[in-house]
Amino acid sequence: MNDSPTATVRERVLAALALPALDGLTQAQVRGATCVWDGIALTAGTAVDLGPRKKRRPGGTYSWFPRGCKRCTARRAYRALFDHAPACGLCRKGPECPVSVEVHRLIREGGGLWLSR
């Protein structure tokens, strides 16, 4: 997770979403041209920038910049909420948790159609 003090809540939430193993992705998925999860082609209107990631390999590390479609990102955000909420004191008290608010925003951006997929 991006723990930088300057990272926004959205950046922290997106950084916490589990991604598939880089070794199993196509070149288009690694480049961000297609969704990192389901491989569909992305446009400026359908893509969600998931933030820079680091990959370690012999001799050093390199950065890659995955993107997901709104539908898949919403699905992963929904799952992440189940991991986050039980351990969060703010979530247990009410709807004021900034992480929960951002996850719900990502879910809404996914349009709800992701539930049927």
Phi, psi of 25 (to 5 degrees): -95, 155
Bridge partners (DSSP) of residue 68 are: 48
Structure tokens at 31: 């480049």
Give the dihedral sign, CA 16/18/21/24.
negative
Length of the chain: 117
Start-to-end CA span in the chain (Å): 27
Task: Say what the pTM is.
Answer: 0.82
pLDDT digit string (tens) for the chain, length 117 residues: 445 556 799 998 998 898 999 889 999 999 899 999 999 999 999 999 999 888 887 888 888 899 999 999 999 999 988 888 999 999 888 888 999 999 988 888 887 654 554
